[in-house]
Structures are given as structure tokens and as C-alpha cells.
Chains A and B, each alone.
Chain A
Amino acid sequence: MVAGTVSSAREDILGRIRAAIDGAPSQPEAERPPYRRFGALDPEARVALFCERASEYSATVTRCVPAEVAVRIGEICAERGMTHLLVSALEDWDPHPPGVELLPDADLSVSELDSGAGVMTACAVAIAETGTVVLDGGPGQGRRALTLVPDVHLCVVPAERIVELVPEAVARLAPSAREGRALTFISGPSATADIEFDRVEGVHGPRDLVLLVVDEAQA
């Protein structure tokens, strides 16, 4: 295909569209129907809802106060017999969790990512109603391959990043989208229902998703 036909395909298609919609009533941007834009829950109920919904998708959810984060990470790794965790950069994780070696992602190849270590990240936003965490490649999150190839994904979720509804999350993520960042919405571990619509956890993404919710209010 040469450039000429590409551009004429473009003109043809746009021309066909204009002919097809010619005379169609124009649709001014109307007021949107009053679906929920803002949540109504207080912070504690919002965090509780997030934990409940994420657990329903077989994510392992655990809560702690900020001072306990490093220790809890160490425990989560010990429970799984993990000694190494991939992270986007070492300086994002201070203090270091005890008993775990952090491996920074210094342009690791995909086979290095596939070497068996789990991965630990932060998140940009989390959505209570759907039990979702969203990564946008911001601090502590790294590139997408980092959270895709390893089999265990430990995601640290600060309570103040949890919003109640999808529209609130989409609004918070708008600057990232406009910057051209890649986003990943994660709701539970990888799953399939392709055989007899029977849900099976774990196909290609991490089969073990651990969410550590960090909340000052949590005793």
C-alpha cells in the first residue's frame, strides 16, 4: 500500500461519513443524566467497602497503619516464602521491609522479570465500589511489564487514594491520561471463565494479588 491510497482511504471514509450523517439532527452536548458522580460514604466506610469488594475478587486484602508498612510487607513475603521483590526504584521504599531483598527495575529484560520474584508497587487511585486499583506509571509504580510478568503482585494502597466511585477515579486520572501515561485498572487477580463459564483464577497476569491498605485510622 502506498501513501497515496492511505490518504485517499482517509478522505473516502470521512466523505462517506459526511454523506451518511448529512441532514441528521445535530446533537448538542446535553446535560448528562444524574448518575452518581460523587460518593456518599465517610472515609472509614469507603476503605471498608474497598477491602470488602477487593476480597470478593480473591485479592488478599490486609490493613495496617503507616508505621507498620515495612514489617507487614516482610510478613506477606515470609508467608509466601518470597525473599525477593521487584520494585520500580529503591528510593520509593524506605524503610526497607525486613528479610526481603528489593530488586530495582533497571531496564530488566522480560525474561529477568519472569525469573520468579514477586513485584511490589504503589497505586495512583483505588475504587471502593468495584475493588479496583489503578496504576499510571507514577512514583512507586514503574512500567506496565513490571506488574504483569511476575506471579505475585503486592500493591500498597494508601487510604487517601481510595475513591468511592468510578467517575471519581476517572476524574482523578484525567491529568495522567492527558500526559499520555499508560494506565492499568486491576480488579483482582487474572481470571478466565472461558471453559463452561467456570471462574478460574490466574491465567496470564499475576495469580496472587495482595493489597496492603495503609490507613492512619486503622488500629
Chain B
Amino acid sequence: MTAIRPFPEAAREGLANPQLRANLARATGTIRGKRRAVVEETPDWEELREAGRAIKARTLAALDEHLVVLERAVESAGGKVWWARDAAEANEAVSQIAREHGATEIVKVKSLTTDELGLNEYLAGHGIEAVETDLAELILQLDGDWSSHILVPALHRNRHEIGELFRRTIDREVGDEPAALAEVARTYLRKKFLAARMGVSGANFLVAETGTAVVVESEGNGRMCTTLPPVLVTVAGIEKVIPRWNDLEVFLQLLPRSSTGERMNPYTSLWSGTRAGEGPREFHLVLVDNGRTRVLADEVGRGALACIRCSACLNVCPVYERTGGHAYGSIYPGPIGAILTPQLVGIENAPTLPYASSLCGACYEACPVKIDIPDILVHLRGRAVEAGVEPASERLAMRGLARTFASRRAYESAQRLGRGALRLVPWARVGPLRAWARARDLPSQQPRTFRGWWRAR
């Protein structure tokens, strides 16, 4: 595993980019407003959240059994199930299926899991071009860029930047209007959809009982990729399984309202294996571990596996809104990324991410499956300390505090020193503490300490 760039360092770029901050503030503000409206009109929202949480918890507690049921259901519906321990095995499975069918160009519907695996790069290395068909993913692919938001991956780009990119790569004449840009994408991709021999998708849910894969989307590219090509490969993390068909009645309400702030997204496709005269002739399901069983082994951290990738936590996060998604160093940005990435890649490779939060708790309030993100953040900070990989400033400060709190005399003299130090506050703005002091107000100085008052009483 390669280490992820420290958050404070990576965040600096986003913070210094006024265009990015304006795009972020506008987009997250809009989505927050839409989400609030459709959540507030739902009288049983809290019951649905609790139901979502409970289903996910129960599923994880017997994940092996549900996966075996899913495998059997998919196979009896004519599909083939592959198991991949890591990214290399998953990528090779997809590549092998493509090679067997002589597919040199495949169409893909947005999938965070395949981004996590680096599937496109792997396929490119084997002479297979993976064409991203989600408008935002296409924008990023055309520009060699990467996602900064789970739902709106090109959130960091505005219409002028995208117009310029499209004029450079697809259509010299197109303007900057979103409708015109969408039209260009429609024409450009339609040829590819109609000609593709293989499609690749992720899955929002996999229903074990019926062997049903579910893709939730807006544009119709998901329908195209999962319906038209004769071969379909769906790549999904093992945590995407839900036990029962009627579990969908909960998640199909939670996800669109939390994600796009709609009562329902424009298109949801559900299919089981293959069916004569309907859709792909061949269906492959690749079930991916790639660190998930490691997350599952952590009693507190496993809560992160309940995530349904709605991105509500990003949109309410004061840190995300200012730094943008790239600062989180992986395709899972925001609060969910701060708890998922360190667990997937190992805390030693992402020790600063659990600190990329003020622990304000807004993410927990917004989470449709009630993942206690602040609790997991604190837990992961503890693990970073145990592993001796917490940020150096944190370590120094905590060691100092530990010594100070260990003896009365040390504590009392620290109080005296602290009162003296507060007088030097203006100097903190130029000294070694200036980065810290720039973003914080110090407490005003009180005439005496509590201990001093107690003794003098």
C-alpha cells in the first residue's frame, strides 16, 4: 500500500483555490437545501434511518451467509460469480472476461469501487479502453482528472472549464451551457453504447434472496451499460449485499433523498443474472474484498461498511466544504472517506485522515444509515496513536499534556505559565505557533485560577 498524502498538506491546495471554494460552497449549499426539503416532508424519516442501520448491522453480522445465498441466487439465474481478494484479482477477472470476448472498448457506468481498484488503468495496460459514460466521469476522464465528490465527481469544475475541455476534445463548436454540454455528451456516447460488446457497472445493492443487482442513477447511462452490451460485468464490494427483497423498500427511500435530494432518482435498474430476450446474454458478478474484511474485523470501525455512498456527509461537513474532495487523497472524500480510507489502506498509510474533522457531528445527523462517524474518527485517532503514526504535532502536544496532568505541581505551574503566556498572544501570530493561532481565538485571561481562588477562600 502506498501512503496517502498528509491531509493538512493536501488541503492547502484546495483552500488556496478561490474558484474551487466558490464551486464547493454553491453546490453543497444547493444539495443541502434540496435534501432538507425532501427529508422534512418524510414523516417517518427517523424510522427509515433506524431500519437502514439495523438491516446493515444485521447483514454484516452474518455477511458470509448472505454472500453464499447471493452467489447461489445469481448462479441459478444464469450469472457467474467471481471472488476477488484484492484489486489485482478483481481487475484481472474483468480483464480476462473482456479478452475472452475480444472486447477492446468497454462502456462503464460510474462505480466508486472500480475507481478504488484502479480498474481503468489496469485495463488500459492490457489494451482495453474503458469509456466512462457518466457525464461527470467523462469530464474527468477526458481531462485526466479524478473525482472530488461521490455524487458530483466534477464538482470542482465550473461550466466554463468544462466547455473549454469539450471544445478541446469532442466538439469545437459547443458553448458553456450545461444543456448544450449534456447534448454533446449524449451524441458522443450514444455511438459507443450501441456498439459496445461489454459493459461494466458497480452496484448500489445486491439482494441475496433474489440475486438482484441494483444500479441507482440519473442520466440513463447506467441503463445503457447494463442493458445494451451482450456481456455485463458488475463489480461490487462484499458489503453491498442486503438479505431480503423487501429491504429495498427502506434503501430506495433513504438513498435518493440523501444523495441528490430527490424523492426518487430518475432511473433505477434491477436485474438477476440473465434472461432470454432481455438485456445481456452473459452476466458476471465480481465480489471484492480489497480490505473490507479488515474493516469488518474492527468492532467500532466496521460501522463504515454500512455506507450506501449517498454523499450527504460531504455536503454538511464544514471541513469538506472548504478543502474539497482531493485533500482526502482517495476516491472516498469527506467524513466517510476519513473513516473508510484509513481502514481500507491501513492506518499507517493514512494517519492524518482521522484528524480531518472538527468532530462537530453534522455527518452523523445526515447519515441515512446512522453511521456514527465522529465515534469512528475518535476510535481511529486512538489506533493512530497506538500505532505511533499520529501527526507529530498531536504527539508532542499529547505527551506534554500527559506529563503535565501527571503531577499536581506540574499542573499548577503550567497554569501559571499559561496565564503568563496568554499575555504573549500577539507574539503567537509570528512565532512557531502562527499556523495554529491563525485559525483560532484564545480564551480571554481570567483574573485568577480556580485553584488560586480555592486556596485564598
Contacts and interface: CB of A to CB of B under 8 A. Distances in A.
B386 interface: no
Contacts of B269: 144, 182-184
Most-contacted residue by chain A among B96, B157, B238, B297 (CB, 10 A): B297
B210 A177 contact: yes
A130 B253 CA distance: 9
Given A114-B190, A171-B249, A194-B154, A205 B223 contact: yes
Interface in B157-204: 157-159, 162, 178-179, 181-183, 185-186, 189-190, 193-194
A53 B262 CA distance: 11
Contact of B219 (A1, A26, A191, A198): A191
A217 interface: no
Interface string A175-214: 0011011111111111111111110101111100000000
A18 B68 CA distance: 12
Interface in A71-97: none
Given A13-B293, A34-B47, A127-B264, A202 B54 contact: no
Interface in B199-257: 207, 210-212, 218-221, 223-224, 227-228, 238, 245-246, 248-250, 252-253
Interface in B265-303: 265-273, 275, 277-279, 287, 289, 293-294, 296-297, 299, 302
Contact of B50 (A12, A25, A33, A197): A33
Interface residues of A, number: 75
Contacts of B96: 1
Contact of A196 (B62, B158, B246): B158
Nearest to A206: B220
A174 B245 contact: yes
A48 interface: no
Interface residues of B, number: 100
A130 B254 CA distance: 12
Interface string A156-187: 00000000001101110010011011111111
A20 interface: yes
A219 interface: no
A19 B297 contact: yes
B182 A145 contact: no
A149 B224 CA distance: 8
Nearest to A10: B83
Contacts of A111: 194
A19 B289 CA distance: 14
Contacts of A5: 89
Interface stretch (B25-33, B325-333, B407-415): B25-33
Contact of B267 (A19, A181, A205): A205
A24 B245 CA distance: 25
Interface of A: 1, 5-6, 9-10, 12-14, 16-21, 24-27, 29-30, 32-36, 53, 57, 107, 110-111, 114, 127, 129-132, 137, 143-145, 148-149, 166-167, 169-171, 174, 177-178, 180-198, 200, 202-206
Given A25-B61, A33-B47, A36-B43, 20 more contacts: A1-B93, A5-B89, A14-B68, A30-B54, A33-B48, A33-B51, A35-B51, A107-B277, A143-B279, A182-B227, A184-B270, A188-B266, A189-B266, A190-B220, A191-B218, A194-B139, A194-B153, A195-B178, A197-B30, A205-B220
Q: Which 10 A-B pairs rank lowest in CB-CB distance, beginning with the nearest?
A: A205-B220, A204-B220, A16-B293, A130-B264, A20-B297, A203-B219, A185-B268, A194-B136, A167-B249, A35-B47
